[in-house]
Amino acid sequence: MKEKAQVSERFREFKAELTSRPSIVLGMGLRGFLRLLSLKNQWILALVALIWLWTLGFYVLLSTGDYPCENLFGGDSSEDFKRCQPLVYYNDLGLGGVRLFLVTLAAISSSGLIANDMTDKSLHLYLSRPISRMDYLIARSIPVFLLLMCVTALPNLIVYLNQWGEAGLEFDWIKNHKWLLLDILILGSFYSASYSIIGLTFSTAINRESWAAGAFFLFVYGSAIIIEIFYLIMLESGVGDDRILLLSIIHLLDIIGFYIFGTQPFFTAFGIEGIDIADIEVFGVFILIIGSCGIFVNWMISQMEANK
């Protein structure tokens, strides 16, 4: 009886020590990331493995010395080679198929995050906790962000380490190439954050996981194929306008990717075509798309808060 009374007393006196909002958000995000990597998500694990295998293939290609990176800039200096590598990684692997896997991975991993909370209505429970709507959205985007970082920044970091190894593992090489390290991380973060936000938008708009994934894929990859074909036809007929590429998310992100490395954007078709679009147009379209996604998701969730 005494023990029971003590348990009841402890239960009555219980006041939880609650952590800060950023810690809650980070915790939610990390738990979501670990859930994505659980064995239940076989498709996600398979895609990550596929991308990593492709990367391995790329290393082999690099090591043969036949990789025509210097052609991109019309020079053969080793500095150009190093500068272009991460870009080439995305560009060529994109043509080779990795971008297909990357977009598929983003579509599959992001589609359920908000859609599931909306379907089972647990969103109401999360939003009744001491976190804001924005906190919730950040927490839900962290798992996709981290997963995509694993297949964007991480392989490039391995390329970087590979180059360091070729340079004799000298610390001076790292000091001289801090910019490259920073650019790789910015590029990975940029791709990951952009795809996370777009993915969560589809997850919110279409609250059925498989449909949301399909819509995301068609919107991102489908539009890229159509725009690319259209662009090539225009190019061949001599009436091309590079701005049409801004209508494709993939190309828009790639163009900004080039900017991150401080290089001229290019398009690989029958040869290498330089892309000529004003910076303000590129960033304007990007802000418009990401801003619209953010406003839409926020609005959708506020509607759910108000309704049952």
Among 15, 171, 262, 280, binds another protein (CB under 8 A): 15
By rule CB under 8 A, what string of x and - marks binding of each residue 27-66 to another protein? xx--x-----------------------------------
Residues 279-308 that bind another protein (CB under 8 A): 305-306, 308
User: What angle, rounded to 10 degrees, do the helices at 209-217 and 178-205 form?
Assistant: 130
> Distance between CA 201 and CA 295 in Å, rounded?
10
- Whole-number CA gyration radius for the chain: 23
Task: Check binding of 239 to another protein (CB under 8 A).
Answer: no
Which lies closer to another protein via its Cβ, residue 17 or residue 66? 17
* Class of residue 208 by CB neighbours under 10 A (exposed 0-12, middle 13-18, buried 19+): middle
The two three-digit tokens of residue 226, written as one number: 């159509």
Task: Check binding of 236 to another protein (CB under 8 A).
Answer: no
Which lies closer to another protein via its Cβ, residue 22 or residue 57? 22
Task: Check binding of 98 to another protein (CB under 8 A).
Answer: no
Task: Check binding of 7 to another protein (CB under 8 A).
Answer: yes
Piece of the chain touching another protein by CB under 8 A; list 103-111, 116-124, 181-189, 242-250 = 116-124
Name the minimum Å distance from CB 8 to another protein: 6
Which lies closer to another protein via its Cβ, residue 83 or residue 140? 140
Among 57, 130, 165, 291, binds another protein (CB under 8 A): 130
The residue to which tokens 């009436």 are assigned: 239
The two three-digit tokens of residue 150, written as one number: 């694993």
Q: Does residue 182 contact residue 104 with C-beta atoms inside 8 Å? A: no
Instruction: Read off the DSSP letter of residue 244.
Output: G
Phi then psi dihedrals of residue 100, to 5 deg = -60, -45
The residue to which tokens 């910019």 are assigned: 179
Report the residue count for the chain.
308
The residues that touch another protein, with contacts defined as CB under 8 A, are 7-8, 10-12, 14-21, 23-24, 27-28, 31, 116-117, 120-132, 135, 305-306, 308
